[in-house]
Amino acid sequence: MGKTIGFIGLGHMGGPMAQNLIKAGHSLKVFDLVPEALEAAVKAGATAVESAARAVAGVDVVITMLPASRHVEGLYLGDTGLLKTIAKGTLVLECSTIAPESARKVSRAAAQLGIPMIDAPVSGGTGGAVAGTLTFIVGGAAADLEAAMPYLQAMGKNIFHAGEAGAGQVAKICNNMLLGILMAGTAETLALGVANGLDPNTLSEIIAKSSGRNWATELYNPWPGVMEQAPASHQYAGGFGVDLMLKDLGLAAEASMQARATTPLGELARNLYALHSAQGNGRLDFSSIQTMYYRAKKS
Ligand code: NAD
């Protein structure tokens, strides 16, 4: 039977995730700071409300999909935070990619108020969000994950329990550090081939069936025109922002320092994305790192 869900954060990911919950028969009360994002959700059948507090009032489940730790802590914690409004026993699914320590902090505060919460960051990109095939990487109590299953299954295909609160974020950060490295490596490789006279389509086809293949060459090629559905073929609009990738590589660097691990390639990728962002590309899709590798035209 359909439940009532308060959904906050209707961006590139949250928008389509909310639509899949509506398709699964749930009633959604939605809130975002951007009016256009709200309009799109209303067209899909959601009810827009004028504040986050209204979105969580009288609902069965709360779902948030926000940019970073500061947005999540700002929304849930403090005297006017949402944890003060959410009814005891209401299940909360926090799906943003944030620092594991932030996830633990919010989840501890929720537990003290009798509010069950899981961190459930996702992988699979905007394509996965639209298709309802996301991978959810969950941290929290097994019983809370079980209760969350029907909602996660409406938005995703693979659901993993990584461990206790915050563990979902650790696993997600590890995955995204690898993604950042692989995308930069793919962009560098394609630029090398093209600079040596290869056609980017032919080279991409070869790599996709050879040992260098990866998610970028299979689904998200960074060279414009190679894959019609990829952001690279649409001026790098939409998708996963450079600044969001930079945030995740920063989280990986923090996790690395805290555990005294060594992540030299992760650090190199973080510096590449930082430079790319500083050149005014922060809002483009992260595959636009490709443009850093174009060879200057000979005059
Ligand atoms: P986005 O910037 O497109 O969307 C975030 C939305 O949150 C925006 O619409 C913004 O207005 C809204 N928001 C921010 N603060 C708010 C507040 N206080 N109240 C209400 N709304 C608020 O980002 P996105 O690409 O959808 O990513 C969301 C999260 O998912 C990030 O943590 C990101 O790292 C992660 N993620 C993104 C992708 C991707 O491919 N885009 C993939 C996996 C994970």
Whether the CB-CB separation of 145 and 138 falls below 8 Å is answered with yes
**Dist. CA 264 → ligand 1 center (Å):** 28
Enumerate residues 6+ apart whose C-beta is below 8 A from 102.
Answer: 69, 72, 73, 169
pLDDT at 297 over 90: no
Catalytic positions: 172
Please identify, by atom number, the ligand 1 atom nearest to the C-alpha of residue 68: 32
Q: Once rounded to an integer, what is the mean pLDDT over residues 155-163?
A: 98
Same topology between domain 4-164 and domain 170-292: no
Please identify, by atom number, the ligand 1 atom nearest to the C-alpha of residue 74: 18
Please identify, by atom number, the ligand 1 atom nearest to the C-alpha of residue 37: 9
182-233 confidence digits (pLDDT tens): 999 999 999 999 999 999 999 999 999 999 999 999 999 999 999 999 999 9
Compute and round to an integer the Cα radius of gyration of the chain. 20
Q: ∠ at Cα 219 (213, 224), nearest 5°?
A: 100
pLDDT of res. 295: 61
Whether the CB-CB separation of 94 and 118 falls below 8 Å is answered with yes
Could you give the CA distance from residue 282 to residue 64 in angstroms, rounded to a whole number?
Answer: 23
50-87 confidence digits (pLDDT tens): 999 999 999 999 999 999 999 999 999 999 999 999 99
User: Kind and range of the H or E element at 161?
Assistant: strand 156-163
Q: Which two tokens stand for residue 186?
A: 């793919």
CATH dotted code for 4-164: 3.40.50.720
- Which band of pLDDT confidence, cut at 50, 70 and 90, is reported for residue 294? confident
Q: Once rounded to an integer, what is the mean pLDDT over residues 103-109?
A: 98
Q: What residues does each domain of the chain span?
A: 4-164, 170-292
Enumerate residues 6+ apart whose C-beta is below 8 A from 131.
Answer: none
β-sheet bridge partners, residue 138: 161
Q: Which two tokens stand for residue 268?
A: 């190199």
| Long-range contacts at 208-211 (CB < 8 A, ≥ 24 apart) | none
CATH dotted code for 170-292: 1.10.1040.10
Q: Once rounded to an integer, what is the mean pLDDT over residues 6-23?
A: 98
Best residue for ligand 1 mutational test, from 7, 17, 32 (most atoms within 8 Å of Cβ):
32
274-287 confidence digits (pLDDT tens): 999 999 999 999 99
Whether the CB-CB separation of 259 and 223 falls below 8 Å is answered with no
Query: Among candidates 170, 108, 114, 177, which has minimal Cα distance to 138?
Result: 170
Please identify, by atom number, the ligand 1 atom nearest to the C-alpha of residue 98: 32
Q: Give buried/exposed letters for 235-264 (b at 16+ CB in 10 A, else e).
A: ebeebbbbbbbbbbbbbbbebbeeeeeebe
- Which band of pLDDT confidence, cut at 50, 70 and 90, is reported for residue 1? confident
45 exposure class (CB count in 10 Å sphere: 0-12, 13-18, 19+): middle
pLDDT at 299 over 50: no
Q: Which two tokens stand for residue 174?
A: 């590890």
Helix or strand or coil: residue 28? strand
Q: How far apart are the first and last CA of the chain?
A: 66
Q: Which ranges in 196-238 belong to alpha helices (H)?
A: 200-208, 215-219
β-sheet bridge partners, residue 91: 61
Average pLDDT, the chain: 96
Q: Once rounded to an integer, what is the mean pLDDT over residues 262-267?
A: 98
Which residues have any ligand 1 atom within 6 Å of their CB?
8-14, 31-34, 37, 52, 65-67, 71, 75, 96-97, 122-123, 125-126, 239-240, 244
CA distances from 37 to 40, 49, 63, 96, 173 (A): 5, 12, 16, 17, 26
**Dist. CA 258 → ligand 1 center (Å):** 26
Q: Once rounded to an integer, what is the mean pLDDT over residues 229-240?
A: 96
Q: ∠ at Cα 127 (27, 140), nearest 5°?
A: 60
Question: Which residue has a Cα nearest atom 37 of ligand 1?
Answer: 240
Could you give the CA distance from residue 92 to residue 83 in angstroms, rounded to a whole number?
Answer: 10
**Dist. CA 53 → ligand 1 center (Å):** 18
Best residue for ligand 1 mutational test, from 17, 33, 38, 173 (most atoms within 8 Å of Cβ):
33
